[in-house]
Structure 1
């Protein structure tokens, strides 16, 4: 995973901005480093939250690790293409992310996103974020206008990302609980 919040929010950012931006920060990385420094914190947790239906995912054109989840459900965001370079992402290297998509409805203050990050079967993070607060971190703001949009962002991936398989799921909703999108990505960082 691209440092926990980095990949979570690669996924999240596409949701958050109708492809207007990627909100990358170090919250997930710091939490991951804490977890890996304190092995007793690696106790698995289970959640009542909605799980991914792996039969209901749809790849997004562009050969990226990101897929639409809950694909049979009506969603406001429609991604035409997502390109991630390098693919797969590499710890210690910059990542370039380009996304093209269409948002059916303007997203206003009060929208939120539920993010879950797993390391293998171990849940590292399950948290809800204010969508509009997250996109401010990448020089964007609400309202996020409806229509077709393209974004390109460069992100530094820290070398400290622990090797392993990471699963990230982001489900975004409007302030009225309309489904903006569900995006998921599986990234494997090899032992270096």
Structure 2
């Protein structure tokens, strides 16, 4: 399962690594939206909670992400402190309310996937990454939360996303045609 660096990339790429597509709908629920074109929300007020990473913007193309397409993620933020080896991400993925994944990932090893290495210096940083999304994703609400901490257990950031994937009409139609063909072809002595 492929998870990418900085919670900014972890949420969409975790979705990508777990499933394939359907047509998604973003579910809005509060005013903690991450700036930019994305379905991300902060878990809590990052300023009030003193997060180490001030996320300025995250843009996803396409937004919302679509199965079978390449998702390009561009994120810009500002670290208020240097991040050293030992920083980690707690990630939880659920389909509806059913837990699919609960994992602790080393942040610094994930950063290598976007050509960054620890220590992550204090100051402005930009990350760009493209991820090929699977072509089939089960219908339902996918909830992802990524909580990022320093080696000293200081909160770097916390992001979440809820996306509803609907059954992909094209995939459903293709399956129906194949099933219909399989019913007809054995009568003609042909096997698919």
* 2:54 matches 1:62: no
Alignment partners' CA distance in 1, 2:58 and 2:136: 25
Please, which of 65, 78, 83 is the counterpart of residue 54 of structure 2?
78
Please, which of 124, 135, 145 is the counterpart of residue 100 of structure 2?
124
Runs of 4+ in 1 over 3 A off after TM superposition: 21-28
Alignment partners' CA distance in 2, 1:138 and 1:146: 17
The structural deviation recorded for 1:101 is 1.0
| Aligned residue number for residue 64 of structure 2 | 88
Moved more, 108-117 or 57-66: 57-66
Alignment partners' CA distance in 2, 1:161 and 1:134: 24
| Aligned residue number for residue 141 of structure 1 | 117
Check 1:27–1:98 CA distance in 2 against 1; reply closer, same or farther (3 A cut).
closer
Check 1:27–1:58 CA distance in 2 against 1; reply closer, same or farther (3 A cut).
closer
- 3-state DSSP of counterpart to 1:59: coil
Please, which of 152, 155, 176 is the counterpart of residue 128 of structure 2?
152
Q: TM-score, normalised by structure 1?
A: 0.72
> What per-residue deviation string (whole Å, max 9, x for no partner) do you get for residues 74-131 of structure 1?
2011111111111110000011111111111111001111000010111111111111
Asked if the contact 2:17–2:134 (Cα under 8 Å) also holds between the matched residues in 1, the reply is no
Q: TM-score, normalised by structure 2?
A: 0.72
Alignment partners' CA distance in 2, 1:109 and 1:96: 27
Alignment partners' CA distance in 2, 1:152 and 1:102: 15
Provide the alpha-carbon RMSD of the alignment. 2.6
Structure 1 residue ranges without an equivalent (≥5): 34-53
* 2:6 matches 1:14: yes
Structure 2 residue ranges without an equivalent (≥5): 21-28, 169-192
* 2:141 matches 1:185: no
Larger Rg: 2
> What per-residue deviation string (whole Å, max 9, x for no partner) do you get for residues 141-161 of structure 1?
111111111222111101132
Asked if the contact 2:57–2:75 (Cα under 8 Å) also holds between the matched residues in 1, the reply is yes
Aligned length: 157
| Aligned residue number for residue 164 of structure 1 | 140
